[in-house]
Amino acid sequence: MELPEAERLIEQLVAQMRPAISADTALVGIHTGGAWLAERLHAELRIAAPLGNIDVAFYRDDLSGRGLHAKARRSDIPFEVEGRPVVIVDDVVYTGRTTRAALNELFDYGRPARVDLAVLVDRGGRELPIDARYCAHRLAQPLAPNRNLRLERDADGAFSLRLIDTR
């Protein structure tokens, strides 16, 4: 399968988001791919609120199957969530379970005015009623469950998408 070029998708995503960004909008990236992407969007969109990061490890719904990761990152929400529009940023949306976990965690910091989701790629296969308001690319056919699509960042900070077979 031919993968779209990540840098082009980021440009499209920035163009989609720009008209909807208000003075108090804040971005929260989901560790790790989403956090990289959020960092780039934060700079390109000149967001005033400091950038947030979330590691959803403690909010996953499949902990009993996967166990706890020892290297979970500390979540960092350096702005007042209460009453603020927030955009959760992830590289790829799939089942929607990660987004659900991020929403739960975000609400433990306060009640946001609204929450949207921004992703580079929607790979299909949703298992929850979750949709990305900003999405640069939707795959025509959902990816098979054994394929893992993710964002990678090289030493110079350039992004690329990578497809990995997990079985």
Q: Which of 20, 109, 125, 126 binds another protein (CB under 8 A)?
A: 109
Taking the complex as a whole, the smallest distance from the CB of residue 44 to another protein amounts, in Å, to 28
Q: Should residue 68 be labelled a site residue for another protein when binding is judged by CB under 8 A?
A: yes
In the structure, how many helices (H) and strands (E) does the chain have? 4, 7
Is 98 buried (19+), middle (13-18) or exposed (0-12) by CB count in 10 A? buried
CB 31 within 8 A of CB 55: yes
The tokens of 26 are what?
Answer: 């804040």
Rounded to the nearest whole angstrom, what is the least distance from the CB of residue 90 to another protein in the complex?
19
Q: How far apart are CA 54 and CA 57, in angstroms?
A: 9
Looking up tokens 């971005």 gives: 27
Q: How far is the CB of 96 from another protein (least distance, A)?
A: 17
Q: Which of 6, 17, 37, 81 binds another protein (CB under 8 A)?
A: 81
CA distance 116 to 86: 6
CB of 45 to another protein, least distance (A): 26
Which range, of 32-40, 75-83, 84-92, 119-127, touches another protein by CB under 8 A?
75-83
Contact pick of 15, 43, 48, 72 for another protein (by CB under 8 A): 72
Rg (CA), the chain: 15
Residues within the interface to another protein (CB under 8 A): 55, 57-59, 63-64, 67-68, 70-76, 81-82, 104, 107-110
